[in-house]
Each structure stands twice: as C-alpha cells, then as structure tokens.
C-alpha cells in the first residue's frame, strides 16, 4: 500500500522551511560561482580561464578531494557521540556556507589575479562541507519522505537560483563594471550568510513528526478484506 503524504504537516514544518531557505541562498551563490566567475576573471581581471584547463578544473578537483576527509570527520563526530546529528549538520554547513561567503567578500575587493583565483578555489572547495550539512538533511528529517522533500526543497531553490545569473546581467553593465561585480559578490555572500543563519536557528537533524504518519485504518481494511470480522 502507498504511504499517505502528510502535506499539511510537511508544509507547516519549520525545519523544512529552514532547509528550503538555506538551499535558496546556497543555490543563488553557487550558480553565480559556476556560471559567472569566468566572465568576471576575463573582463575585470583580464584572465581567461578557458585557456587554462587546469586552473578551470582546480576548484572542482579540490571539492572532490576535500569531501573525503570532511565526510569521514563528520561521521566520526556523530558515531562517537561528540556531536549530535543536528549540531554536526549545522557546524559543517556553517563552515561551508560562511566559508564561501568570506571568499566572495574577498573577491569583491581583491584586484589581484592570483589572490582572486586562490579565493575562488578555496571558496568552491568549502562547498564540500555542505555535503554533510544541508544536502543530506532530508534523510535526517524524514527517511520515509526523503525523495519528496528533496524534490520540494531542491526544486524551489533551483527555480529561484535562475535569478542569480539574471541579476548579474541586470547589474553588470558593461561586463567590466567593477562596482557591478562587487554588488553581485556582496549579495551572494549575504545570501550564503543569511541562508545558513536561518538553518542554524530553525534547522534540525531530528526525525520530524510527519515521517511516521500511519495509513488510515479504513484504507487498510479496504485493502485487506480478509482481516475484516465475519458477519454472523
């Protein structure tokens, strides 16, 4: 039998909304990093990343490398009861998202190519910490509805993330407008900071009440007629 979906409980759950807000802030900034930074390097710093494949790939290689010790450390802290699941999610998510925010602040004010490339690489690497933060949180909140929660929160956050690159096109005119890029980075840093702050205050690593909603008895009886009492 299909498990009923407790929409009312899901849509009134503060931990779900905290996760969604955090994902909105993260996706806005992430897609700016992925899609717009090469343009910033080319037009403001006059450094064409497309001509240097190693440098273009370096941030994402670093994410992959950093994810292994980060995942191991998080699991170790939880299994040894050093941190609760909620605390671990929030600590690692904070390192990740506020780390990216600091890198964006540095990018907003750094005129140096080498320093900017280093900040960009470190900032993208920090995303590895969010793998054991908000990204896995749906399994904590409701293992029985993890797919549904991921579709809901990730879907909404990616819809709003469309506006990140669009915001760049609206603000940065022409493409070598330093003040425009500064505003883009400051807004992205603020959203990384705000999203994680909401997650710290309202997020949770505990199983939520809607995870164990039972199927109504009437539906169970209708699907299992052999269990109904016999009429005399």
Averaged pLDDT, 190-218:
89
3-state helix, strand, coil in the chain (%, to 5): 80, 0, 20
Burial level of 64, CB count in 10 A (0-12/13-18/19+)? exposed
Confirm or reject CATH 1.20.1250 for domain 29-209, answering yes or no.
Answer: yes
Average pLDDT over all residues of the chain? 90
What tokens were used for 157?
């956050």
Q: Is the pLDDT of residue 232 over 50?
A: no
Quick one: which of 187, 167, 208, 194 has its CA closest to 107? 187
pLDDT, one tens digit per residue, over 29-88 is 999 988 899 899 999 998 877 776 777 788 889 999 999 999 999 999 999 999 999 999
Measured at the CA of 111, the angle between CA 37 and CA 126, to 5 degrees, comes to 45
pLDDT of residue 215: 61
Report if pTM > 0.95.
no
Tokens of 178: 């330093």
The sign of the torsion formed by the CA atoms of 136, 141, 142, 148 equals negative
- Mean pLDDT in residue range 183-203: 97
pLDDT score of 186:
97
| CA distance to 47, 162, 166, 214, per residue, from 27 (Å) | 25, 9, 13, 34
Domain boundaries, the chain: 29-209
Check if the beta carbon of residue 77 is closer than 8 Å to that of residue 88. Answer: yes
The two structure tokens encoding residue 198: 């909401």
| 69 Cβ contact partners less than 8 Å away, ≥ 6 residues apart | none
């Amino acid at each position: 039998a299909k498990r009923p979906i407790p929409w009312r409980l899901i849509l009134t759950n503060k931990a779900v909304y905290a996760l969604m807000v955090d994902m909105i802030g993260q996706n806005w900034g992430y897609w700016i990093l992925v899609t717009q930074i090469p343009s910033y390097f080319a037009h403001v710093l006059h450094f064409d990343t497309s001509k240097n494949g190693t440098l273009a790939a370096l941030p994402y290689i670093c994410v992959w490398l950093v994810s292994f010790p980060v995942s191991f450390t998080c699991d170790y802290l939880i299994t040894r009861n050093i941190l609760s699941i909620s605390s671990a999610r929030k600590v690692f998510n904070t390192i990740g998202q506020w780390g990216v925010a600091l890198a964006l602040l540095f990018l907003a004010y750094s005129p140096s190519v080498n320093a900017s490339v280093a900040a960009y690489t470190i900032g993208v690497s920090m995303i590895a910490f969010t793998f054991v933060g908000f990204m896995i949180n749906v399994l904590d909140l409701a293992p029985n509805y993890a797919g549904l929660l991921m579709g809901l929160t990730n879907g909404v956050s990616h819809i709003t993330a469309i506006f990140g690159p669009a915001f760049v096109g609206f603000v940065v005119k022409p493409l070598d407008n330093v003040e425009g890029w500064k505003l883009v980075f400051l807004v992205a840093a603020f959203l990384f900071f705000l999203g994680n702050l909401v997650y710290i205050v309202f997020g949770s690593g505990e199983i939520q009440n809607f995870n164990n909603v039972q199927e109504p008895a009437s539906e169970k009886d209708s699907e299992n007629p052999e269990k109904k009492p016999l009429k005399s």
